[in-house]
Amino acid sequence: MTVIQMSERELTRLRVLIDLSDKRLTIDAAGTLLGVERRQVYRLRRAFATDGPTALVSRKRGRASNHRHGATFRQTILALVREHYPDFGPTLAPEKLATRHGLRLGVETLRQWMIADGLWIDRRHRLPSPHQPRRRRDCLGELVQIDGSEHAWFEDRGPTCTLLAFVDDATSRLMALRFVTSESAFDYFRTTRAYLETHGKPVAFYSDKHNIFRVNNGEGGDRVTQFGRALTALNIDIICANSPQAKGRVERAFGTLQDRLVKELRLAGISSIEAANAWLPGFIAAHNARFGREPANAKDLHRKLRAADNLDGHCHINPVWRPEDS
């Protein structure tokens, strides 16, 4: 005897039609339960009476979809991926195929094609992280994670440099990015000033224990760094994390940026810090539209700069300043 495999929708139809045939349901009630018009209920009842449950099984089952891509389309897509996007994942590659080549297909379709062709390794079975995620803050501007990442951002087209990133904890939005030669107090001051002028003053910055943010010589006592004094004067807290996992929002942002940003810079043909910084605003807007999220509380806790907030005094640093001078 042939076993009929039925979907949940088909099983629901079967139960309704059994009750309809046994006169436990009216035509109108059956139509409401099935979400179809009366004439469709009559048609289903006739088919069920003639052929039984098999009449409810879709005739399309086992047949190729009308929307299936052809072999030539698949070969073209995979050839473009091999030539232009060999290290792109199946999420980013479809975006570039659509915007740069006018070829559109679903992420999951490309993922399966790339896996079958050896261009992608399925990573869904990775071991879960042993670190429990810290609960997000509720409001934009309540806590902003800051950090720098030294990386070959321009690959072999330019020198290794550092990207400074300011990431909002509540929304994962990139609030500021800046390429610099190295992670220095001078560049943090310059980037912080641009942040304050654009967004206002957050409640707190969350950083690592770099000596730009705290005294690490074992004799700190109540001494603070020049960066810390500037934030105190502006009524902005500075919190230093005890581990990289504690500031996971900015760490994960760098993981994404070291993949996507590197590739976007390559496609744009950018190989210098100056050109990259001029290009970054458009990338930030597109990134936030894709990966940003709404805060739990819509209130923006950034505070407007006041006349008394002298950025020339607070966010200025002597280029020859040394950590031991703090």
pLDDT tens-digit readout, 56-107: 877 666 565 656 788 888 889 999 998 888 888 888 899 999 999 999 988 8
pTM, full prediction: 0.66
Instruction: Show the low-confidence residues of the chain (pLDDT under 70).
Output: 1-4, 59-67, 123-134, 216-223, 242-247, 313-326
> Which pLDDT value is given to residue 166?
95
Question: What is residue 69's predicted lDDT score, i.e. its pLDDT?
Answer: 80
- Provide the pLDDT for residue 6: 73
240 closest CA partner among 176, 107, 147, 178:
147
Of residues 142, 146, 145, 136, the one with CA closest to residue 202: 142
- pLDDT value at position 241? 75
What whole-number distance in Å separates Cα of residue 53 and Cα of residue 56? 6
Question: In this structure, how many other beta carbons lie within 10 angstroms of the beta carbon of residue 59?
Answer: 7
Given a contact cutoff of 8 angstroms between Cβ atoms, the answer to whether 161 and 273 are in contact is yes
Please state, in angstroms and as integers, the Cα–Cα distance from residue 21 to each residue in 37, 42, 85, following that order: 17, 11, 58
Residues 6+ apart with CB under 8 A from 289: none
Sign of the Cα torsion 33, 37, 42, 43 reads: negative
What is the rounded distance in angstroms from the CA atom of residue 182 to the CA atom of residue 200?
25
**Residue 264's pLDDT is what?**
94
pLDDT at position 133: 60
pLDDT at 175: 95
**What integer pLDDT is reported at residue 249 of this predicted model?**
79
pLDDT of residue 66: 58
Rg (CA), the chain: 29
